[in-house]
Amino acid sequence: MEDCMESFSECLFCKIVKGEIPSQKVFENETVLAFRDINPQAPIHILIIPKRHLESILEINEQDTPLFASIFAAIKQIVAKEGIAERGFRIALNNGPEGGQLIKHLHFHLLGGRQMIGRLG
């Protein structure tokens, strides 16, 4: 597990990665952690994050390709385990202020277990 840089010591999700704040983990490997959202918006609401602190999509570059392959592989495993692979699910990523991003540590929302209403926005 990569340690967070000192400047990110206040990041809530880095604290979850470090185990300083408890979470309901559903998946973990060397680079990716997934845990249940504390305020679920659907019967299944899981956050998937890189363990390394990346604030937003804007910080991603080509070297991060394996990380994102790993994130999508994790999502595939999680939806199978949660029993929603075939039913369907929604993946959302809120980026920046107008994207509705509250926690400045890149994360994907996995929502499932009910019919998603509306398409986007």
d(C-alpha 75, C-alpha 26), whole Å: 10
- Contact partners, residue 62, CB within 8 Å, separation at least 6: none
Please tell me whether residue 96 binds ligand 5GP under the rule CB under 6 A. no
In the region spanning residues 14 to 73, those forming contacts with Zn ion, defined by CB under 5 A, are 14, 53
CB of 5 to ligand 5GP, least distance (A): 20
CA distance readout (Å), 60 to 36, 37, 46, 52, 65: 24, 23, 22, 11, 9
Please tell me whether residue 98 binds ligand 5GP under the rule CB under 6 A. no
Angle, vertex CA 7, rays to CA 92 and CA 17, nearest 5: 50
Three-state SS annotation for 43-65: CEEEEEEECCCCCCHHHCCHHHH
CB of 109 to ligand 5GP, least distance (A): 6
- Which lies closer to ligand 5GP via its Cβ, residue 1 or residue 21? 21
Is 107 one of the catalytic residues? Answer: yes
User: What is the per-residue binding string for ligand 5GP in 31-70, x denoting contact by CB under 6 A?
Assistant: ----xxxxx-------x-----------------------
CB of 100 to ligand 5GP, least distance (A): 5
